[in-house]
């Protein structure tokens, strides 16, 4: 599973083996003896060699995925928002940084909404069963 996931991540971002090796070396700045090479990464993608724990961790950080995702244990599209909001990662919304205070307040809002959801009375069903969100703001 690891070779397929690594290849899919790399190709999905249109990164050559050479560019990935360069990117890893620039981001993690290893000594000359431990630099990543295109042939090394190619061997990982073909399953001819298995990377070390350190190399898998570097790849996960580079592609912003978990090591579990690379190993095939989890799907990439599943995120726990609670953990994300409480993590140390910098978060943005519409290209604006979210401060730590805002993160905490947003976390509390989501938490309150989800916990209160079970206590709300169901709304009467609509004929077309669809909802619309009106984002036409009138700021007069």
Q: At a CB cut-off of 8 Å and minimum separation 6, what does 107 contact?
A: 81, 82, 85, 86
Identify the pLDDT of residue 21: 96
Identify the pLDDT of residue 48: 96
Identify the pLDDT of residue 127: 53
The DSSP result for 69-130, as a single string, is HHHTSS-TT---HHHHHHSSS--EETTEEPPHHHHHHHHHHHHHHHHHHTTSPPPPPPSS--
Q: Which two tokens stand for residue 127?
A: 């004929």
Backbone angles phi and psi of 92, in degrees to 5: -130, 160
- Tens of pLDDT along the chain (140 residues) come to 899 999 999 998 899 999 999 999 999 998 888 899 999 999 999 999 999 999 999 999 999 888 988 988 876 556 677 777 777 778 888 888 888 888 888 888 988 888 888 777 766 655 555 555 555 555 55
Identify the pLDDT of residue 31: 86
Q: Where are the domains of the chain?
A: 2-71, 81-117
Rounded distance, CA 67 to CA 56, Å? Answer: 7
CATH architecture of the domain with range 2-71: Orthogonal Bundle (1.10)
Identify the pLDDT of residue 107: 86
């Amino acid at each position: 599973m690891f070779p397929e996931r690594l290849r899919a991540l790399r190709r999905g971002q249109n990164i050559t083996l050479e560019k990935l090796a360069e990117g890893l070396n620039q981001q993690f700045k290893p000594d000359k003896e431990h630099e990543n090479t295109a042939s090394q990464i190619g061997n990982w993608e073909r399953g001819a060699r298995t990377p070390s724990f350190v190399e898998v961790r570097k790849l996960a950080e580079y592609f912003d995925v978990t090591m579990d995702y690379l190993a095939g244990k989890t799907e990439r599209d599943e995120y726990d928002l609670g953990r994300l909001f409480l993590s140390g990662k910098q978060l943005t919304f519409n290209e604006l940084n979210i401060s730590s205070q805002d993160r905490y307040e947003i976390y509390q809002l989501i938490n309150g909404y989800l916990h209160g959801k079970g206590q709300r009375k169901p709304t009467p069903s609509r004929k077309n069963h669809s909802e619309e969100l009106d984002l036409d703001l009138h700021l007069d």
